[in-house]
């Protein structure tokens, strides 16, 4: 059976099984539980009766057990979609809080060691709640209350899913039939002990493996066939040494390079408690070999049992084999007889004289290309590097995968950048199912030899026809803004990449204002990539700044859809691929915004996967929601905004309208939790379009403040009268979509609201407050106001109600939530005290991360809380920051900390490492001073040697605030920074150093936003710091506030290059005009944009107002800009505290001198003479105002720098 026929057969079989999906399969199972209370047998939970009062006799009940559990044996293996639980009504519903659902095929720890589906934060008394388990596979469904003594009561459990084969490896521990080996043998503790089916975990019982104290010890299971691995369960030793497994890794794949340890990694094992079993979900990774290895240290490896669950794949064909062996290869040139076929000969010999390595000439951008002869879903690529010489040549090489031959295949989307591969070793790169026929390895942007000793590729063959392996643009319909001659829009999808105008294969518009070209795919697709061929013979620069938009809306001819990317430039006559990362839509637009231009396209290729034409992916999901608003004007009901009618004149009767409320709002309840991609709003045409200026879109799961406390997607600067505009919300998660006009009295009118997104589980960590299942502590205790009060689900905010936490008056008081797992945090919602003292929270900070340094307060900062109104709840978007700990801290002062409720929303994640390329290698460096010859370049030489005599570490003099700066020569989105500390001496010097990233050179770059504080790095080790996509050209490492030597043995930076042109790295403030509320002496407002950051008054470079009530300073940029950040320099010689509490406002209105525009940030404080950056996240406006609200004060600014991108000035017409 071929792989394709196997997959089609499997899909057909699953479709036949589909009738089971509509049944409660729990009714057919057998149940047991940890103990029995009275006659409340476990069978009661599957009797089909949801009666929830104890006296009705339909609820189970255990004794008050430690970790009570209930288990359902489905008698077969199922793919579980959802579990529905009914809680007790008449008493004690809180007992289920924190319970967990586990699903799998193991009976270790009575089934509780199986992978976890979700944590139940709470189920209201007498109600039923569904939990989505997303197709987890298993025979056993367990409900367990971990880590405490409790009664477990279940009034009904329903389970829905699809039956899988009752025989074969799906429902079995497939490890039992494998063969095993390990790195060495300690005594007679053979590797077979780990698959003997015995989970005994005391060493004398003779059931645990054991290696010698090896460097990087490993254990390998050969499954004798290729499997799709769902989960791995490991039992750790009980009687001794359980910590040895800390940091071990599970690797899965088909390669035996480095004894199998070079295969892609499933997960890192942070720890497994002594004598327990723990499950790890590997999410369908494909491979024959399962390795467990302890990397980078000398250690004993002991495993008491390893269980593996998965699905057998064909033993022949490309799934279980290195599919590169069947392909055809070519390369950019030939050195001697080192043909490209050498890289797929199955021989990993890596010394040049052995004759098994490819070699090109010293080409500019050398490349090697594999044609798989079919389209594949690529899981991983393994490369073997040369041993005897020159291994560094591969540093910075890239792997590209796709279906295009443009630029010899190098224009296809990139899988990864190879930072380095050690000489003579093999390294695996996970490409996560990228789709393509061609696999290219190329060294970009330099002249180099390319040598490959072996390339292995693993993946699944896909159909050779249909939208997966084809350019789906070919079957679409196209139109454009105008026609130049006969250069019809169809030319761009004719399959011909000829790029000279006389060849007749390029489109052409007139010289339009904002010309566009649109492809209608005739169906909704998940778009992976777009490849564009530019004109060769003339005018290639015309495409500079063009944008690709993808979505389902035809508003503004489709140009209002969310943007995939901006095309900085495409070289004349070449093709370039743009990754759109699975954006969803029917329409693909290419448009040149904000100028008059000709648009010419010689070919457009689009690759993606067709999605259902119905359902929430391809539809406006707002249509099926329920709506309400703050008040009603006449009969202009809120439902008008989701009637599907974009008529925008008031007499047409399709626009909503509120009274002139203070902060009017409109709310859409989607009836489910969605990942929101975009919101499209149609504004009124016949009157009053400016009313929407400054409105905000909020998305989340909270109804606090009628939903307006949820995190903000965007601020609407303006929408032209009668037009529709799309706002990208970048996958924000929530059930409620609010549109509100904050901080003023106004009418709110909406003529249509469209919302596009993907439905997510209505329960679990995505749609629930995950704080409820965590553990909390705080800096001190005031009375009995325990830290648990903030996660009790009660937002009562008056002190006598007993639901608010309270510390003593500590210096820097803090409260910490331990989520018990690592999460990607979307938002944090905080409820402030009502009856007193709400100002105490002003200036508090939210920190998120995995470190307990400084009690968790050293973790990266999500935000600063300027203020929360008394008794209200406010949401803060943390944009997917990753961490286990959420801290709220009041820094730099003595204060009481009181929290009446803290809600946290996010997604549980596995441990991951830095992804991408070490871009530091291509940069230029400098530092504050030089000690001997320890130049700053040493930190980016690719050498992590960490002893001083080895000559690879930088060193400054003992400076006050020593610093080291990397200029990346371009603007990047930085994911992580990895630093290697000195080994032989003085590792503590780096304690407290900070990483800063941004586009400013103020204070030598140290004024840029901070990524992280380095609490400590162990001597001679490397440590990674997550910067979560911070944007900038400069990476600084600085030791603030003390005199110190700064030594760095290596700095690695990983991230994605952003366009090198445009105003991202420019100061646009210098182009503007300024005014202020009054003038003190000759301290004119222009001083703040003179480019001089001198901060002593006598130097004559600081502005100054009189002591006004609410003094302000305003910058008129003369055009509308999308503002990324504002940097302010404060006065040094006196009075720096005057700026405390100042606000930055951005927008298009001059109401209240511009101070009524939306607020970017509150300045809690700026140290005397320092510059500080405030991120405004693309807020749009012409005016930037800095104002000190609510008091009489002098306003002094020594410099204001503004970074942003020009916006379409036509949108400012009503501002």
**Between 18 and 219, residue with greater pLDDT:** 219
Query: Hey, which of 419-428, 593-602, 1023-1032, 1068-1077 has the most confident mean pLDDT?
Result: 593-602
pLDDT at residue 314 in the model: 44
* Torsions phi, psi for 398 (to 5 deg): -125, 145
CATH 3.40.190.10 applies to domain 770-908: no
- Distance CA(276)–CA(237), nearest Å, equals 8
Q: Evaluate whether 135 touches 164 at the Cβ level (below 8 Å).
A: no
What span, in angstroms and rounded, lies between the C-alpha atoms of 168 and 287? Answer: 17
Q: Which pLDDT score is estimated for 282?
A: 72
How many Cβ atoms are within 10 Å of 70's Cβ, its own excluded? 24
Contact 1212, 1148 (CB under 8 A): yes
Decide which of 475 and 142 is more confident: 142
| CB-based contact 445:421 (threshold 8 Å) | no
pLDDT at 704 over 90: no
Strand 712-716 and strand 724-740: the pairing is unpaired
* pLDDT beyond 70 at 1065: no
CATH superfamily placement of domain 11-163: Galactose-binding domain-like (2.60.120.260)
**Pair 41, 57: CB distance under 8 Å:** no
Q: What is the pLDDT of residue 762?
A: 38
Instruction: Name 513's bridge partners.
Output: 596
Q: Which residue has the higher pLDDT, 853 or 982?
A: 982
Homologous superfamily assigned to 621-760: Galactose-binding domain-like (2.60.120.260)
| pLDDT (0 to 100) of residue 611 | 58
Task: Return the structure tokens found at 1040.
Answer: 């603030």
Query: Looking at the predicted structure, is the pLDDT value of residue 439 above 90?
Result: yes
Tokens of 1171: 């510059």
The answer, yes or no, to whether residue 465 has pLDDT greater than 70, is no
Instruction: Please spell the DSSP secondary structure of 440-499, one letter per residue.
Output: EEE-TTSEE----SEEEEEEEE--SSSTTTS-GGGGSEEEES---TT--GGGGGSS----
What whole-number distance in Å separates Cα of residue 236 and Cα of residue 280?
13
Read off the pLDDT of residues 255-270 as tens digits, 9 standing for 90 and up: 787 898 887 777 778 7
The tens digit of pLDDT for each residue in 925-979 reads 999 999 999 999 999 998 888 999 999 999 999 999 999 999 998 888 786 788 9
3-state helix, strand, coil split of the chain in percent (to 5) is 15, 40, 45
Question: What confidence tens digit (pLDDT) does each residue in 1086-1104 have?
Answer: 999 988 888 999 899 999 9
Task: Indicate the DSSP class of residue 747.
Answer: -
Q: When comparing pLDDT for 127 and 780, which is higher?
A: 780
At residue 910, the pLDDT reads 40
Residue 5 reports pLDDT greater than 80: no
Alpha carbons 290 and 744: distance in angstroms, whole number: 61
Those residues whose C-beta lies under 8 Å from the C-beta of residue 726, and which sit 6 or more positions away, are 551, 553, 555, 560, 561, 562, 678, 679, 680
Q: Exposed (0-12), middle (13-18) or buried (19+): which is 737, by Cβ within 10 Å?
A: buried
The fourth-level CATH superfamily of domain 917-1060 is Galactose-binding domain-like (2.60.120.260)
Q: How is domain 323-461 classified at the architecture level of CATH?
A: Sandwich (2.60)
Nearest of 293, 328, 174, 304 to residue 237 by alpha carbon:
304
- Is the pLDDT score of 390 beyond 80? yes
pLDDT band at 1178 (very low <50, low <70, confident <90, very high): low
Pairing of strands 1199-1206, 814-831: unpaired
**Structural contact between residues 182 and 175, judged by C-beta atoms closer than 8 angstroms:** no
Residue with more model confidence, 176 or 850 = 176
Check residue 731 and give its pLDDT. 62
562 in Cβ contact with 728 (< 8 Å): yes
Residues 6+ apart with CB under 8 A from 239: 201, 202, 203, 204, 274, 275
Q: Where are the beta strands (DSSP E) in 568-694?
A: 575-591, 596-597, 603-610, 626-629, 661-662, 665-682
pLDDT at 213 over 50: yes
Q: Return the C-alpha torsion angle 227, 232, 235, 240, nearest 10.
A: 100
* Mean pLDDT, rounded, of the chain: 84
Query: Half-sphere exposure (CA, 13 Å, Cβ side) for 741?
Result: 25
**Can you spell out the DSSP letters for 342-360?**
GGGSS----SGGGS-----
C-alpha–C-alpha distance, residues 252 and 265, integer Å: 6
CB contact set of 767 (below 8 Å; sequence gap of 6+): 673, 701, 733, 735, 760, 761, 905
**Amino acid 53: pLDDT:** 92
With vertex at residue 1142, the alpha carbon angle to CA 1139 and CA 1148, rounded to the nearest 5 degrees, is 135
Domain boundaries, the chain: 11-163, 174-312, 323-461, 472-610, 621-760, 770-908, 917-1060, 1065-1212
In terms of CATH, what superfamily is 1065-1212? Galactose-binding domain-like (2.60.120.260)
* CA 1009 to chain CA mean position, Å: 19
Average the pLDDT over 760-787 and give the result. Answer: 77
| pLDDT of 765 | 33
In CATH terms, are 770-908 and 917-1060 the same topology? yes
- Mean pLDDT of all residues in 1159-1177: 77
* Superfamily the domain 472-610 falls into: Galactose-binding domain-like (2.60.120.260)
Pick the range with the lowest mean pLDDT from 320-329, 662-671, 1020-1029. Answer: 1020-1029
How many whole angstroms separate alpha carbon 55 and alpha carbon 34?
22
Looking at per-residue confidence, does 286 or 283 come out higher?
286
CA distance 1115 to 1107: 20
d(CA 646, CA 754): 10
Position with higher pLDDT, 915 vs 514: 514
Q: Is the pLDDT of residue 529 over 80?
A: no
174-312: CATH superfamily: Galactose-binding domain-like (2.60.120.260)
């Amino acid at each position: 059976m071929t792989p394709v026929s196997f997959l089609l057969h499997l899909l057909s079989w699953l479709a036949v099984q589909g009738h089971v999906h509509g049944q409660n399969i729990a009714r057919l199972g057998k149940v047991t539980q940890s103990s029995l209370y009275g006659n409340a047998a476990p069978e009661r939970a599957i009797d089909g009766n949801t009666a929830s009062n104890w006296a009705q006799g339909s609820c189970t009940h255990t004794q008050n057990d430690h970790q009570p559990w209930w288990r359902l044996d489905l008698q077969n293996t199922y793919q579980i979609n959802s579990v529905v639980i009914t809680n007790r009504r008449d008493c004690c519903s809180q007992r289920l809080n924190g319970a967990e659902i586990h699903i799998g095929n193991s009976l270790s720890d009575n089934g509780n060691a199986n992978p976890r589906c979700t944590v139940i934060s709470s189920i209201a008394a007498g109600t039923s709640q569904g939990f989505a388990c997303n197709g987890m596979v298993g025979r056993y469904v367990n409900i367990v209350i971990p880590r405490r003594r409790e009664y477990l009561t279940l009034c009904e459990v329903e389970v829905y899913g699809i039956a899988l084969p009752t025989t074969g490896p799906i429902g079995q521990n497939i490890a039992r039939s494998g063969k095993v080996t390990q790195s060495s043998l300690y005594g007679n503790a053979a590797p077979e002990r780990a698959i003997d089916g015995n989970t005994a975990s005391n060493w004398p019982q003779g059931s645990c493996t054991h290696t010698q104290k090896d460097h990087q010890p490993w254990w390998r299971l050969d499954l004798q066939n290729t499997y799709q691995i769902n989960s791995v369960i490991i039992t750790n030793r009980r009687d001794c040494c359980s910590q040895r497994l800390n940091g071990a890794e599970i690797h899965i794949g088909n390669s035996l390079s480095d004894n199998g340890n070079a295969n892609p990694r499933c997960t890192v094992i942070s720890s497994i408690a002594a004598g327990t079993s723990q499950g790890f979900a590997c999410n369908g990774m494909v491979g024959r070999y399962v390795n467990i290895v302890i990397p980078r240290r000398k250690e004993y490896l002991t495993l008491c049992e390893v269980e593996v669950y998965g699905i057998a794949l064909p033993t022949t064909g490309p799934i279980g084999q290195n599919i590169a062996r069947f392909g055809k290869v070519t390369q950019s040139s030939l050195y001697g007889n080192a043909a490209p076929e050498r890289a797929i000969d199955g021989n990993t010999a890596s010394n040049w004289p052995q004759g098994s390595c490819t070699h090109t000439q010293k080409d500019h951008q050398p490349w090697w290309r594999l044609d798989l002869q079919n389209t594949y879903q690529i899981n991983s690529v393994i490369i073997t590097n040369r041993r005897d010489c020159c291994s560094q040549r591969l540093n910075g090489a890239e792997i590209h995968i796709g279906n295009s031959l443009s630029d010899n295949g190098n224009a296809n989307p990139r899988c990864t950048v190879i930072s380095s591969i050690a000489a003579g070793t093999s390294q695996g790169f996970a490409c996560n199912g990228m789709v393509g026929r061609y696999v290219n390895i190329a060294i970009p942007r330099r002249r180099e030899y390319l040598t490959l000793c072996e390339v292995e590729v693993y993946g699944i063959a896909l159909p050779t026809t249909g939208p997966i392996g084809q350019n789906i643009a070919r079957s679409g319909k196209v139109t454009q803004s105008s026609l130049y001659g006969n250069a019809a829009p169809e030319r761009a999808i004719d399959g011909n990449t000829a790029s000279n105008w006389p060849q007749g294969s390029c489109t052409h518009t007139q010289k339009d204002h904002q010309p566009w070209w649109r492809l209608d795919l005739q169906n909704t697709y998940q778009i992976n990539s777009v490849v564009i061929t530019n004109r060769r013979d003339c005018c290639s620069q015309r495409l500079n700044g063009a944008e690709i938009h993808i979505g389902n809306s035809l508003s503004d001819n489709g140009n209002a859809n969310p943007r995939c990317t901006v095309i900085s430039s495409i070289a004349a006559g070449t093709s370039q691929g743009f990754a759109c990362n699975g954006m969803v839509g029917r329409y693909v637009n290419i448009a040149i915004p904000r100028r008059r231009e000709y648009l010419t396209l010689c070919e457009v290729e689009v690759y993606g996967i067709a999605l259902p034409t119905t359902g929430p992916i391809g539809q406006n999901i707002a249509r099926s929601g329920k709506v309400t608003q703050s008040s009603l004007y006449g009969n202009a009901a809120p439902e008008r905004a989701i009637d599907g009618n974009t008529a925008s004149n008031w007499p047409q009767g399709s626009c909503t309208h509120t009274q002139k409320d203070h902060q009017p709002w409109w709310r859409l309840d989607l009836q489910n939790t969605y990942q929101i991609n975009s919101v499209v709003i149609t504004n009124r045409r016949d009157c009053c379009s400016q009313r929407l200026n400054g409105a905000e879109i909020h998305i989340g799961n909270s109804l606090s403040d009628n939903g307006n406390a949820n995190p903000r997607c965007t601020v609407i600067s303006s929408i032209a009268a009668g037009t529709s505009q799309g706002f990208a919300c970048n996958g924000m998660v929530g059930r409620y979509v609010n549109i509100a006009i904050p901080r003023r009295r106004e009418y709110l009118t909406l003529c249509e609201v469209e919302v596009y997104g993907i439905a997510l589980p209505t329960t679990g960590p995505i749609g629930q407050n995950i704080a409820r299942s965590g553990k909390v502590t705080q800096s001190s205790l005031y009375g009995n106001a325990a830290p648990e009060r903030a996660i009790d689900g009660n937002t009562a905010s008056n002190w006598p109600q007993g639901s608010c936490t309270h510390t003593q008056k500590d210096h820097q008081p803090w409260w910490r939530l331990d989520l018990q797992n690592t999460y990607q945090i979307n938002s944090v919602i905080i409820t402030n005290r009502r009856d007193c003292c709400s100002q105490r929270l002003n200036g508090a900070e939210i920190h998120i991360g995995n470190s307990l340094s400084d009690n968790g307060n050293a973790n990266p900062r999500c935000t600063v809380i300027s203020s929360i109104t008394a008794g209200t709840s406010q949401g803060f978007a943390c944009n997917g920051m990753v961490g286990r700990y959420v801290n709220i801290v009041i820094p730099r002062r003595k204060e009481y900390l009181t929290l009446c409720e803290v809600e946290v929303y996010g997604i549980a994640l596995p441990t991951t490492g830095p992804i991408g390329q070490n871009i530091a290698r291509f940069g230029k460096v400098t530092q504050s001073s030089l000690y001997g010859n320890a130049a700053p370049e040493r930190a980016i030489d690719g050498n992590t040697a960490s002893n001083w005599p080895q000559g690879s570490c930088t060193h400054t003099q003992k400076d006050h605030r020593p610093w080291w700066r990397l200029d990346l020569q371009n603007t990047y989105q930085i994911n992580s920074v990895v630093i290697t500390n000195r080994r032989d001496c003085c590792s503590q010097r780096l304690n407290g150093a900070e990483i800063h990233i941004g586009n400013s050179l103020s204070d030598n770059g140290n004024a840029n936003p901070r990524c992280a504080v380095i609490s400590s790095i162990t001597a001679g080790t490397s440590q990674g710091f997550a910067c979560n996509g911070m944007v900038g050209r400069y990476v600084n490492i600085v030791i603030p506030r003390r005199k110190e030597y700064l030594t760095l043995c290596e700095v690695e930076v990983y991230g994605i290059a952003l366009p090198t042109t445009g105003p991202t790295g420019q100061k646009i403030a210098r182009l503007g005009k300024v005014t202020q509320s009054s003038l003190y002496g000759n301290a004119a407002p222009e001083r703040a944009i003179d480019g001089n950051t001198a901060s002593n008054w006598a130097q004559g470079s600081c502005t100054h107002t009189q002591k006004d009530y609410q003094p302000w300073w305003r910058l008129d940029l003369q055009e509308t800009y999308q503002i990324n950040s504002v940097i302010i320099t404060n006065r040094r010689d006196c009075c720096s505290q005057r700026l405390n509490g100042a606000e930055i406002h951005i927008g298009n209105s001059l109401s209240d001198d511009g101070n009524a525009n939306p607020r970017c940030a509150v300045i809690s404080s700026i140290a005397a003479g320092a510059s500080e950056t405030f991120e405004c996240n693309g807020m749009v406006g012409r005016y930037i105002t800095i104002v000190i609200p609510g008091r009489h004060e002098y306003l002094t600014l020594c410099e204001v720098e503004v970074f942003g991108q020009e916006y379409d000035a036509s949108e400012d017409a009503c501002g």
